[in-house]
Amino acid sequence: MSEVGVFSASIAVDPGIQLGAVHDHLYGANLEHIGRSIYEGVWAELLRNRKFLGHDHAYVGLSEGLAHQHPSFGVVAPWEALAPDDDHVLFVHDNTTFYTGAQSQRITIRRADGQPHGIRQGGLTVDAGRSYQVRVVLKGIGQEVEVRLGDQVWRIADVSSDWQTYRTELTIGQADDDAVFSIAHSAEGDLWVGCVSVMPADNVDGFRPDVIEALREWGPTFLRWPGGNFASAYHWEHGIGDRDTRPGYLDPAWSLWESNDVGTDEFIALCRHVGTEPILTNNMGTGTPDEAARWIAYCNSGPETEMGRLRAANGFPEPHAVTTWFVGNEQFGNWQVGHCDAETYAHRYLAFADAMLAVDDTLDLIAVGVPNDLYGRWNELVLRQAGDRIRELSVHYYSIRTEKWSTPPPASELYWPKVASAHEVCAMLDRTWEIVRAHADPAPTIAFDEWNTYVGGKPPDFFEDYGIADALYTGALMNGCLQRAAWVTMSACFNLINVMGNYRVTPTQVWKTPTTLVLELFTRFRGPVAVACSADGPTVATPAAGTLPAYDAVPLVDAAATCDPDKGVLYLSVVNRDPDRAGTIDVTGVTRGDGGRLLRVTGGGPQDLNTEDAPEAVVIEEDPLPADGPLRIPPHTVAMAVLPIETNDA
C-alpha cells in the first residue's frame, strides 16, 4: 500500500455524555427474492425452474416462420430437448395434466426407435466424491425412465400411472463444472415430469452450508424478508407445506418466476442456523389485514391453536416468535405493487395494525416512511393520520443512482462520490427527523432499513462491484447511525447475497465484499451505549455524480464511539477517506489502558475489491495499540479501535 504523506486530525470523546442506547437492530441486512439472491444464492438447489414454470422454446431467431420451429419446441425453458426428433417424439408443456401449479413437462414418444428421448439441463457444477439427493415426480405408463446426473445413471423401473415421487442419492465420480441432468425414456407413450430436484446431500435444511458458515462470520443481527418490492405481491400461505406442491408464479415486482421453495419456515430455519433474528414484511400491495393476521398467528401462536397446529404439521411445533414486522414496503412509489397515496396508506396501516395486534399485542410494527419530505410530503400526511399509532418509521435511501445509465461511470471516477455519499445520507437523516418531530408527538424513531450505493447493477442479476470506496461509505454511514442512536434504531444494508450483495456466491465459492467486512467490525465490536464523539481535521471538496451533489467540505476523518462502562471498554470507529495519506489522530477525553487493538479494513489501493479470483484481496487486519500516543489510520481505511479505558472516565 503506497502512501504519499500524512495529515493530522483529532477526535474528542466524552463517555460521560450518552447519545442513546445502541439498538441490536442497527446491524442487519435484507434478503429479498430477486435475481440470484436466494435461488442460485443461499439455496442449495442445483436446477433452474425445477417446477416447469413459464414458457417453452417456440422458434429460432427473432420471429416465427415455416421452418423456424425450435428443436426444443414444447420444452419449458431453460430445459432443452434430449434427442429431439419430430418423427418420433413430441414435447408438450402440459396445462391439462400437472402436479404443481398449472403446468408439467410431457415427453410423448409417438413411435419408438429404441433411443431414449427426454429433457436435459446443462451448466451444473458437481464435485467428485460428493453425494447429491435427486428427487423426481413422475407419471407414466409403466415404462422405464433413465435419470442421469454427470457421470451417474439412475434407472426407475415401471413408472406409476399416478403421480409418484422417486428418490435416490448419487455420488459423483468425476468433477464437472458443465454437468448435465437429464430425464428420458424410450417406450412408446406418455411420460409426465411434475417437478424435479437435485441438491447436495450436505445441504442444511435446503441451504448451502458454505454460505451459512460465511454468514455466521459476520453475524448480522437480523434479516428482513421476503422484500422489498417482492413482499408487495407475496402471499405467504402459498409458501408453506410440501415444497413440491407449492404453486409457482410470475412475480410482478421483478418479472421473475418464483418457485415458492423458500417460504416462511425455510427462512426461519436459515435465521436459526445463522443465529440472527427474523423480521418479516407484510404484503400491503395485494394482501389484506386478515392475511397478515393469519401470518402472525402462524408464526407466533401456540401448537394448540389452529394456525399453530398447521405450523406443527409443517415440522415446526414451537412458535417462530417473530416480534418485528414491516407493515408494507414503499407504498409511496409508482413502481410498487399496491402503490397508493399517503392518506390511504395511513388508513390501511391502521387496519393492518389492528388486525395484527389483535393476534399478538407485543409486536413491534414499522410503518412506511420516506426520506425528507419527498413523495408529496408523505411523512407529514401519514403521521397526521396515524402518528399516534406509529412507533417506528421506515426510510430507504440509495446513493448516486447511476444504475439506469446505459454506461455507468468508471470506478476510477467514483471514489470521491462514494465516500462522500454518507455525508449526504447523514444530512438526509437529520432533515427526515426534523420533519418527523414536527408532525408526531412522540415522534417515531427511524428504521433506516434499506441503504447502499447503487451505480451499475442491472436486471436480472443486479451485480455491483463493491470495493474500498463502498467500505468507506459504509463505515461513515454506520458512524452516522451511531451518532444518532437516540432516534435511529434500525439499519439494514441491501442486499445480503449477490444482488447488490454483501456476499458474492457462485456454485463453488463464497466471498465477502469490503462492505461486509466493515459491517462485521461494527457488529462484533460495540458497546451498549453511543457516546459523544467528534472529529476535527482537514476537509476535501468532492464532485457530483448521479443524484449526489458536489460538496465543498467533506471531512477526511469521520468517527463515532460506543462504550461498555461495565467492562471499561471504548469502541472507536474511524474512517480515513483520504485515498493516499495516512491520518495521525490524537484521541482526547479518555485515559487509555493497556491491551488495546486496532482492527482495520483496508486494501493495497483505493480501488481494491474482492473477486472470485482474489476473494481475500481485502481483509480485516489487526494490530496492538499502545496505551498512549496518536492513532495512525492508513489511507482509505475503516478502523475499529478497541480501547480499554479507566473506569472513572466511563
Q: What is the pLDDT of residue 181?
A: 98
Is residue 78 classed exposed, middle or buried when 0-12, 13-18 and 19+ CB atoms within 10 A define those classes?
Answer: middle
Mean residue pLDDT of the chain comes to: 96
pLDDT at 443 over 90: yes
pLDDT at 210 over 50: yes
The stretch 258-284 carries a mean pLDDT of: 98
Lateral strand order in the sheet of 164-171: 89-94, 104-109, 189-200, 131-139, 164-171
- Rounded CA-CA distance 246/229 in Å is 21
DSSP state of 371: S
CB contact burial 189-224 (16+ within 10 A = b; e otherwise): ebbbbbbbbbbbeebbebbbebbbebbeebebbbbb
DSSP state of 412: G
Pairing type for strands 89-94 and 131-139 reads: unpaired
pLDDT above 70: percentage of residues in the chain: 99
Residue 480: pLDDT band by 50, 70, 90 thresholds?
A: very high
Other beta carbons within 10 Å of 50 = 26
The stretch 345-355 carries a mean pLDDT of: 98
Is the dihedral angle over the CA atoms 33, 35, 40, 42 positive or is it negative? negative
Residue 311: pLDDT band by 50, 70, 90 thresholds?
A: very high
- Rounded CA-CA distance 184/148 in Å is 9
Q: What is the pLDDT of residue 492?
A: 98
Q: What is the pLDDT of residue 246?
A: 97
**Cα distances (angstroms) measured from residue 223 to each of 315, 390, 438, 589:** 22, 22, 31, 36
| pTM more than 0.85 | yes
Specify the DSSP element, H or E, that contains 432. Answer: helix 415-439
Residue 649: pLDDT band by 50, 70, 90 thresholds?
A: very low
The stretch 61-89 carries a mean pLDDT of: 91
Beta strands of 384-478 (E only): which ranges?
Answer: 392-400, 445-454
- Rounded CA-CA distance 374/397 in Å is 12
Instruction: Give per-residue pLDDT as tens, 630-646.
Output: 999 999 999 999 999 98
pLDDT at 208 over 90: yes
The stretch 474-481 carries a mean pLDDT of: 98
**Cα distances (angstroms) measured from residue 512 to each of 465, 519, 619:** 11, 11, 9
pLDDT at 257 over 80: yes
The stretch 25-32 carries a mean pLDDT of: 98
- Rounded CA-CA distance 146/132 in Å is 16
- According to DSSP, the residues that pair with 586 across neighbouring strands are 10
The stretch 345-363 carries a mean pLDDT of: 98
Q: Residue 365 — φ and ψ, nearest 5°? A: -105, 140
- Rounded CA-CA distance 237/260 in Å is 10
Q: What is the pLDDT of residue 3?
A: 67
pLDDT at 650 over 50: no
Q: What is the pLDDT of residue 449?
A: 98
Q: What is the pLDDT of residue 64?
A: 80
Nearest to 242 by CA among 270, 261, 269, 268: 261
- Rounded CA-CA distance 43/203 in Å is 9
Can you give the three-state secondary structure of 478-540, one letter per residue?
A: HHHHHHCCCCEEEEEECCCECCCCCEEECCCCEEECHHHHHHHHHHHCCCCEEEEEEEECCEE
Instruction: Give per-residue pLDDT as tens, 287-307.
Output: 999 999 999 999 999 999 999
Residue 60: pLDDT band by 50, 70, 90 thresholds?
A: confident
Q: Residue 648 — φ and ψ, nearest 5°? A: -70, -15
Check if the beta carbon of residue 336 is closer than 8 Å to that of residue 330: yes
pLDDT at 121 over 70: yes
Instruction: Give per-residue pLDDT as tens, 550-608.
Output: 999 999 999 999 999 999 999 999 999 999 999 999 999 999 999 999 999 999 999 99
pLDDT at 213 over 90: yes
Hey, what's the cell of 228? 422489498
Domains and CATH numbers, the chain: 6-44+204-649 (3.20.20.80), 80-200 (2.60.120.260)
